[in-house]
Amino acid sequence: MNRIIKRPLAPDLAVERLLALATRQLEKLGLKPMGGGAAGAWTFTNNTRTYILNALFDWDTDSFKMALFLSTSNLGATSTTYAAVTNEHANANGYTTGGVALTNTLAGTTTVTADTGDAVWTASGGSIVARFAAIYEVAGNVLCYCLLDSTPADVTVTTGNTLTVQINASGVYTLA
């Protein structure tokens, strides 16, 4: 008697096949497939800790925004001001230059957590494409930034869909 032993598919191939099947089923129903990405952690710029200690950032009273940047941006650890960061997403397709305003909170006494609400953009008239998000003080200094997809890869949101940068349940940062 002949026996055929089938190995399981490599995990990445199995996932690709499952995603392809799910996409076909969604399309049959007239639905758009949507995916979530694993964003990278928020990373302070080289100056952020000093800015916090020198009270240049007042998390719960200053105005902060979150903005989106392209893969060609110079956003990184050496970024200092929002104005000096290049290649923000264009003012189009549901994105407004400068990003969206954030509502920030502080919680705790001996361990203090700085938190903010999620940032949401809805694409209209075209896609929103970005690789990075940055939180910056409206007065100008960049607080932190993250990759929107830790691969790293661009994140694309097509017309009628939303891009939500969801803040981790433990906040943007904690001081202990």
Specify whether 83 is located in the same domain as 12: no
**pLDDT tens per residue, the chain (176 residues)?**
444 444 444 444 455 555 566 556 655 655 444 455 557 789 999 999 999 999 999 998 999 999 999 999 999 999 999 999 999 999 999 999 999 999 999 999 999 999 999 999 999 999 999 999 999 999 899 999 999 988 888 999 999 999 999 888 888 988 88
- For CA atoms 144, 150, 152, 157, give the dihedral sign: negative
Domain that holds residue 107: 38-175
Rounded-to-integer distance, Cα 176 and Cα 109, Å: 9
**Structural domain contains residue 2:** no
**Structural domain contains residue 158:** yes
Specify whether 58 is located in the same domain as 72: yes
pTM of this prediction? 0.78
Specify whether 48 is located in the same domain as 84: yes
Specify whether 60 is located in the same domain as 140: yes
What DSSP designation does 72 have? Answer: T
Looking at the structure of the chain, the number of domains it has is: 2
Number of H helices, E strands in the chain: 2, 12
